Amino acid sequence: MRAEREGVRRAGGRLRMILAAGEAIMDFLPVTAGDGRAAFVPVPGGAALNLARAVAAQGGQAALFCPLSSDPWGAMLRDAARAAGVDVAPCPATARPTTLAFVTLAGGQPAFAFHDAGSAMRGLTAADLPAALPPGLRAVAIGGISLVPDPCGPAFAALARRAAGRAAVVLDANLRPALVADPAAHRARLKALLPLADVVKLSDEDASWLFGPGTPEDWAAAVLAAGARVAAITRGAAGALAATAAGHRAALPAPRVEVADTVGAGDAFLAAFLLSLDRSGLLGPGLAPGAAALTAALAEGIAAGALACTVAGAGAPGRAAVAALAARVAAGG
């Protein structure tokens, strides 16, 4: 994998740092023990960590910003990120415990039970933000459950505001409605970030929760009307749609794959989407992709998301596999 990353960097020459800011947590995935009993196995996860690993797997330079605990789970998260080629230097160390999420699956769709009280992530404040942004930074991605509670939600939002104008700001709602105690307040928090965002990625479930019933076209238009520059709406097996403030639009179907589960599919999509823009020299503040670049990014995102669904847990497909499947997606196959 490391050789593949280096080969992509030499070939493209443009892939610079994407900072994934948000949750790095321990997912406990359901398994059947040898004696037939139901059990759980711990697997490093969380939207920000999944995104960073997906960026690194596809040849990008990835960094993670999330407080990491000194407990054994925190050590596992740090080791997993480093093993994937993710820079964890920006991560503050803390004695607060790691967030744990127990996952159950129904038809391949994950449901989560979180144990987060007093956690490393939840306790983040604006005072814990890095004094300076990493050199070579091209994008800061925020979202997921890290935007829900206080004080960490406002702190991650403050990091994005600090990066605005210096890097592309990326927002992925990645909602877990069961964790949102005050839906009106969280909708307001997300909508306040839309004018700041260069790229907003929403699943159709996210978009419906945020804006109410509608079509992907309606939701993308709402994102752009709020001030974002690029909107991407993912639709699972139905594919995805992307649109820009300049009026460009692309919609592509998803390829048929054998689905193990959908954990991390949205993170893989976003990583590929951003890296495609980076390879085109477009990833940065005020990005404005044309029709061809938008379609190429959407095809890569759909391909990566589909490949992530073929493995249990958060898959991180490599660049070669994503490129091959993206060519099929772009051709409508």
pLDDT in tens, 260-280: 888 889 999 999 999 999 999
What is the per-residue pLDDT across 184-241, written as a single tens digit (0 to 9) for each? Answer: 999 999 999 999 999 999 999 999 999 999 999 999 999 999 999 999 999 999 999 9
CA dist 61 and 19 (Å) reads 9
Q: pLDDT band at 147, cuts 50/70/90?
A: very high
Which residue segments constitute the domains of the chain, with CATH numbers given?
2-9+16-330 (3.40.1190.20)
pLDDT at res. 185: 95
Looking at residues 130-157, what average pLDDT do you find? 93
Of 239-243, 285-289, 290-294, 310-314, the poorest mean pLDDT is in 310-314
Task: Work out the mean pLDDT of the chain and round it to a whole number.
Answer: 91
Q: Which of 243, 269, 242, 267 is nearest to 255 (CA)?
A: 269
Assess contact for 110 and 263: CB atoms under 8 A: yes
Assess contact for 36 and 89: CB atoms under 8 A: no
Looking at the chain, the whole-number percentage of residues with pLDDT higher than 70 is 94
Where are the strands (E) in the chain, listed by range? 17-21, 25-32, 38-45, 61-65, 68-69, 93-94, 100-106, 109-115, 137-143, 168-172, 199-203, 230-234, 240-244, 249-252
pTM of the model: 0.92
Specify the DSSP element, H or E, that contains 97.
none
Of 102-116, 157-171, 204-218, the poorest mean pLDDT is in 102-116
